[in-house]
Copies of this chain bind each other. A is one copy, B any other.
Amino acid sequence: MTLIRELVLIGSGRVASQMANAFIHAGISIRAVYSRTPAHAAVLAKSLAVPAVTSLAEIPTDADAYIFAVSDSALPEMLAKMPAVNGVLMHTSGTVGLDVFPDRFEKTAVFYPLQTFSKEKPADFEQIPLLIESKKPAVFSAIKALAQKLSNKVLEANSEQRKQIHLSAVFVSNFPNLLFYIAQQLLQEKGLDFNVLKPLIAETAHKLDYLSPAQAQTGPALRRDEAVLQAHQEMLGNHPEWEKIYTLLSEEIKKIKS
């Protein structure tokens, strides 16, 4: 197995565009971009100054690798339509196993970036953990070398480990962001500015640099301050779902042993 020097990108969403930029920055060529939505592929390909193709049948079949940055549900259908190629096939999903690849492909791998991506801001891949997996040692070496060109945090993780990390990632990223949204709505209802909470949000994340989550826990539920808990529940009276969230999370905080 030699090095992966160039690849075909399949997908045009947030992950696809952020990874494409990171590959180009690391000196990896993008041979072509394909997306099921040709207009999206065209826009991304133009921004990267690389060719777009409008069907999987048109993609170059002699590339070193093919990276699928598409939704989990789209993956099986797209792989079924994939022409015969000799390069490495990789997907970027946290939850899908290596067994998603049809048996006719011999060189298969997972290349999962553990991060929440925005279209608006280039991601700093150096700090993004890349979780990689392949059953073939030669393929593993090739994708490891590729990953190390992008990131200082390359980790081998099998499918079971990756799924658990992905589940945990939902708890530390998607769910906290929902709670930020609820807080913003609560402040907006009283004409207050969400910016006042930003130093607190930053410190809550930053505390983990020197404390475990159990040590870092604070708040009325941990102090068992029932008067405050009850007052807060009453303030949420107009939002029964948020009150349920408040109660459920507070009960869980009471179980933490610090």
Q: Does A27 count as interface, using CB distance less than 8 angstroms?
A: no
Q: Does A99 count as interface, using CB distance less than 8 angstroms?
A: no
CB atoms of B248 and A241 under 8 A apart: yes
Can you show 21 pairs from A to B with CB atoms below 8 A apart? Answer: A95-B220, A115-B203, A121-B207, A123-B203, A153-B196, A161-B190, A168-B184, A169-B197, A170-B232, A171-B179, A174-B218, A175-B179, A178-B249, A178-B253, A178-B256, A181-B213, A181-B256, A183-B213, A245-B248, A245-B249, A245-B252
The A interface, classified by DSSP as helix, strand, loop or mixed, is helix
Q: Does A227 count as interface, using CB distance less than 8 angstroms?
A: yes
Please judge, given known A-B contacts A252-B178, A253-B178, whether A212 and B184 are in contact too, CB under 8 Å. Answer: yes
Please judge, given known A-B contacts A73-B225, A181-B256, whether A218 and B116 are in contact too, CB under 8 Å. Answer: yes
Please judge, given known A-B contacts A164-B192, A168-B183, A186-B167, whether A117 and B178 are in contact too, CB under 8 Å. Answer: no
Which residues on A are within 8 Å of B, measured CB to CB? Answer: 14, 71-73, 95, 114-118, 120-121, 123, 127-129, 153, 155, 160-161, 163-165, 167-184, 186-187, 189-190, 192, 194, 196-223, 225, 227-228, 231-232, 235-236, 241-242, 244-246, 248-249, 251-253, 256
